[in-house]
Amino acid sequence: MNVFPPAPATTEQVGLATLEVRVNALEAALAEVAAEKQAAIDALAVARATGDATSLDRVDGETEGRVASIQQLADVVGDVVQGQQAVLDAAVNTTAATEAARQQAITTTAAAQDVVDAGAYIVAAAAEVEDKAGEVEVTAAAVAGVVHKTNVTATSEDPLVLFKTALGFVFAELYARGLRAGGVSLNAPGQSDAMLSIRNALGFVGFEVAADGALALPGGTWRGTTNGGFDLSTLGRSILSYEGGALGLVGAPVKAIDDALFRVVNPLGFVALQIGLDGNVAINAAANEPVYTAPSVTPVIGTQLYLVSDRPTPLYVENILTTRTDVETAKVTIASSKGAPAQPFAASARDGAIMLDPARLGTSATLSVRKLGDRNPRLTKTLTVSVKAVPVSGSPAPKILLIGDSITNRQTGYNINALLTAWGFAPQWIGTIVGSNSNSSSATGGPLGEGREGWAFSDYLGTSLDNDVPLGVLAVGQEATYQAANKTDKRGYQPFLNPNTSAGAQTPIVTISGVNYRFDLRFYLDRFSLTDPDLVVVNIAMNDKTELGAAASLAQVKSGYGYLLDEIRRVLPAASIILWATNHPASSAGDTEWLEWQPILSAIVDIVTTRRAAGDANLHLCSTWAHQSGEAGWSLTSGTTGADGVTTTTISDITHPGAAAREQHAEALATAIACIA
């Protein structure tokens, strides 16, 4: 503590002390102004965020009060500046002032200048607060406009526009990068390539929209099909499906019945549950006897088997049964013997393929079919077996004419030619159209033939030319123009119809544009100076089914083959003729088509069997559908591939065999040709 009394203060010292007090007061006031300014800004931000008109009015009122206070402080600053000016004048006029007093005056003058600057800042702050008050009024008006839905054009700064923009940004981020939180992944990178997925940390899916539109749910996957149907499946097995008018439940077909309200029947025809028209419920009905006709297990196959010595030939059990299903309905057995000491052949299967061994089969074999669950009745059929030792010597050169549709065109001739050549044959190919060396309809590179895309019996016989024959009947005298045309244009002409209906053909007379015609094989061969073939290989019927449906196509195939075979025999009485047909793949749509296709195959089997029995030993049937897999070698959709590299896909083409399946039917045909030629 200072115990000495202070010295008397000079006038200058008193003035400086007074100034110091006022400056300190001014600094405190400036701090208060800064706090008031921040309070105004914070209140304005809250009012904007809430959009509360009442809060905005309050902020406006408070701001006016703060402006008044700041103006008073500005007045105080003016007084301080005037008082300091007087002190300076006194300091200048006082000759007794010491140098220290003069220096103090200079320092005080600098402080005064700071005060002046502070006053200017306060005035600017007041103006800024006034501007903020104006913004508050504008925001209040904007909010009122939104609340009252005024008809004002929205701008990018409007609150609702900003909100929608932010919401869109959130969804865009979720789509592009996903979100992971709390062990749940929403479309997060590395989880899947689905459009949207929700799955837990263990990878179990709660909901997912796959890239192909399939919905994955906890109980299974819901997927649309190419033909407008749907399939609900789990672990690869169908639970509920609809395709082509057919409903499936747990892999079994659902059919309408009129003799009961509801019935559950196994593939063998035995009833597990039935609700009758009278409401009575029967379980395991009537001594386990079938109450309806069970699917037939009569084999759909010709009487001839063709093999070559260098390879086994598969016979697919499912493809020779009337009804195809994943539920096994029959056991198929092939047995053959060459006699001791050779090892006999005996093989059975309920599914998959029986591999026919050419080294162990004799000249005949017995096909036996037994319905599962019934061990007594057996359906049997005797098959003749032909085995060709290959390679052959002497380069046999069969002259072959292929007549058919797109399946014939697409690499069938190409593959047959490759096999026959490898086995030592030198085939000569007859026809006007170059076949494809791939699955493309317009490709070339294959041998000559008549593989005409989309053609049915009605196109060949001329009874109903459709869009598959856009250029119509090839007029007599236009042969050179036709031969110079490209492949697509050639397919657009009908070159088999002869306007001379009395030339000998007995096919139906058709009238086109006022002119009568007949399908005439001799006319066709002669007009293009083609060599007579000694082997005619025919595949027609698939487009008949596609265009006409089950009943009409079956009738057209029966009559069409009748006319065509009669005409071939008229022109080529000693030629060998091979009929053949392909399979449909194992799929919901393929199995539906099989229900219409197998009656046509059965009709072709009957046609050949009847004519051979009548004496045409050179007519043959190659049951290519029985040697062609329904599971492999069919075109697939691109599907979706998971992180484990497994792709989920479906069969995209149930008509045209692809890859391995196409090679299989060509192999069966080449084998038949090798045995017959």
Is residue 381 domain-shared with residue 400, that is, in the same domain?
no
What are the DSSP calls for 627-658, one per residue?
GS-SSSS--B---EE-TTSPEE--BS-SSS--
Cα–Cα separations (whole angstroms), residue 426 to 75, 417, 449, 529: 119, 9, 16, 21
Q: Tell me the range of 58-67, 138-147, 636-645 where mean pLDDT is highest.
A: 636-645
Task: Report if residue 178 sits inside a domain.
Answer: no
Scanning 262-387, the segments in alpha helix (DSSP H) are: none
Is residue 383 domain-shared with residue 398, that is, in the same domain?
no
Q: Residue 340: which CATH number?
A: 2.60.40
Residue 290: pLDDT over 80: no
- Contact in structure between 465 and 494 (CB atoms under 8 Å): yes
Residue 301: pLDDT over 80: yes
pLDDT classification of 203: cutoffs 50, 70, 90: low
Among residues 330, 357, 387, the one where a domain terminates is 387
Rounded Cα distance between 326 and 583, Å, is 17
Rounded Cα distance between 277 and 259, Å, is 7
User: Tokens 């030198």 belong to which residue?
Assistant: 426
Is residue 311 domain-shared with residue 232, that is, in the same domain?
no
Q: Give which of 307, 405, 377 is closest to 672, Cα–Cα.
A: 307
pLDDT classification of 360: cutoffs 50, 70, 90: very high
What pairs with residue 249 in β-bridges?
A: 240, 252
Question: How far apart are the two ends of the chain, measured CA to CA in Å?
Answer: 136
Task: Report if residue 162 sits inside a domain.
Answer: no
Name residue 196's amino acid: L
Rounded Cα distance between 648 and 211, Å, is 11
Task: Report if residue 294 sits inside a domain.
Answer: no
Mean pLDDT to the nearest integer, 506-527: 97
Burial status of residue 441 (CB atoms within 10 A of its CB: 0-12, 13-18, 19 or more): middle
> What rounded mean pLDDT belongs to the chain?
80
pLDDT tens digits for 80-131?
545 555 554 554 454 444 555 556 555 555 555 655 565 555 555 555 545 5
The residue with greater pLDDT, 339 or 149, is 339
- Contact in structure between 21 and 27 (CB atoms under 8 Å): no
Helix-then-strand count for the chain, H and E: 14, 34
User: Tokens 């919401």 belong to which residue?
Assistant: 167
pLDDT tens digits for 539-597?
999 999 999 988 999 999 999 999 999 999 999 999 999 999 999 999 989 998 999 99
Residue 1: pLDDT over 50: no
Preceding omega of 341 cis (within 30 degrees of 0) = yes
Residue 487: pLDDT over 50: yes
pLDDT tens digits for 609-631?
999 999 999 999 999 999 999 99
Is residue 140 domain-shared with residue 189, that is, in the same domain?
no
Question: Can you list the pairs that 643-652 forms with residues at least 24 positions away whose Cβ atoms lie under 8 Å?
Answer: 643/190, 643/191, 643/192, 648/210, 648/214, 648/221, 650/223, 650/225, 650/226, 650/587, 651/585, 651/587, 651/589, 651/590, 652/226
Residue 271's pLDDT is: 73
Is residue 193 domain-shared with residue 250, that is, in the same domain?
yes
pTM of the model: 0.61
Q: What is the percent of the chain with per-residue pLDDT over 70, rounded to a whole number?
A: 66
- Contact in structure between 625 and 669 (CB atoms under 8 Å): no
Residue 158's pLDDT is: 72
Residues in contact with 20: Cβ distance below 8 Å, sequence separation at least 6, in sequence order = none
Mean pLDDT to the nearest integer, 281-304: 69
Helix 159-177 / helix 99-147 crossing angle, nearest 10 deg: 80
pLDDT classification of 60: cutoffs 50, 70, 90: low
Is residue 418 domain-shared with residue 431, that is, in the same domain?
yes
Q: Give which of 628, 660, 580 is closest to 314, Cα–Cα.
A: 628
Residue 62's pLDDT is: 59
Task: Report if residue 319 sits inside a domain.
Answer: yes
Task: Report if residue 163 sits inside a domain.
Answer: no
pLDDT classification of 233: cutoffs 50, 70, 90: confident
Containing 172, the helix (H) or strand (E) segment is: helix 159-177
Q: Two tokens at 34? A: 């800064």
Rounded Cα distance between 222 and 239, Å, is 10
pLDDT classification of 288: cutoffs 50, 70, 90: very low
Residue 146: pLDDT over 50: no
The residue with greater pLDDT, 625 or 170, is 625
Among residues 229, 255, 288, the one where a domain terminates is 288
Q: Two tokens at 344? A: 């006999």
**Counted domains in the chain:** 4
Among residues 387, 403, 433, the one where a domain terminates is 387
Residue 263's pLDDT is: 77
Question: Counting every residue, how long is the chain?
Answer: 677
pLDDT classification of 196: cutoffs 50, 70, 90: low
The residue with greater pLDDT, 481 or 75, is 481
User: In terms of residue numbers, what domain contains 143?
Assistant: 11-147
Residue 86's pLDDT is: 57
Helix then strand then coil, in percent of the chain rounded to 5, is 40, 25, 35
Is residue 410 domain-shared with residue 446, that is, in the same domain?
yes
Residue 223's pLDDT is: 75
User: Tokens 């077909």 belong to which residue?
Assistant: 253
pLDDT classification of 4: cutoffs 50, 70, 90: very low
Question: Cα dihedral sign for 128, 132, 133, 137?
Answer: positive
Is residue 383 domain-shared with residue 394, that is, in the same domain?
no
What value does the CA radius of gyration of the chain take, rounded to a whole number of Å?
Answer: 48
Name residue 55's amino acid: S
Rounded Cα distance between 356 and 362, Å, is 11
Task: Report if residue 164 sits inside a domain.
Answer: no
Residue 10: pLDDT over 80: no
pLDDT tens digits for 244-285?
666 666 656 666 777 777 777 765 566 777 787 777 777 765
Measured CA angle at 135 (ends 131, 136), to 5 deg: 115
Task: Report if residue 165 sits inside a domain.
Answer: no
Cα–Cα separations (whole angstroms), residue 308 to 301, 341, 414, 465, 668: 19, 22, 19, 40, 10
The residue with greater pLDDT, 285 or 452, is 452
Is residue 523 domain-shared with residue 666, that is, in the same domain?
yes
Task: Report if residue 334 sits inside a domain.
Answer: yes
Rounded Cα distance between 56 and 134, Å, is 11
Rounded Cα distance between 307 and 674, Å, is 9
Residues in contact with 496: Cβ distance below 8 Å, sequence separation at least 6, in sequence order = 460, 462, 519, 520, 521, 523, 524
Residue 644's pLDDT is: 92
Which of 68-82, 468-482, 653-667 has the least mean pLDDT?
68-82
Is residue 360 domain-shared with residue 405, that is, in the same domain?
no
Residue 182: pLDDT over 70: no
Mean pLDDT to the nearest integer, 506-515: 97
Rounded Cα distance between 271 and 291, Å, is 7
Is residue 27 domain-shared with residue 77, that is, in the same domain?
yes
Is residue 536 domain-shared with residue 670, that is, in the same domain?
yes
Return the beta strands (E) in 424-525 as ranges: 428-430, 433-436, 445-451, 472-473, 493-494, 497-498, 510-512, 515-519
Which of 149-153, 328-332, 414-418 has the least mean pLDDT?
149-153
Q: What is the 3-state secondary structure (H, E, C) of 374-408?
A: CCCCCEEEEEEEEEECCCCCCCCCCEEEEEECHHH
The residue with greater pLDDT, 273 or 56, is 273
Measured CA angle at 558 (ends 575, 542), to 5 deg: 90
Q: Residue 567: which CATH number?
A: 3.40.50.1110
Residue 5's pLDDT is: 45
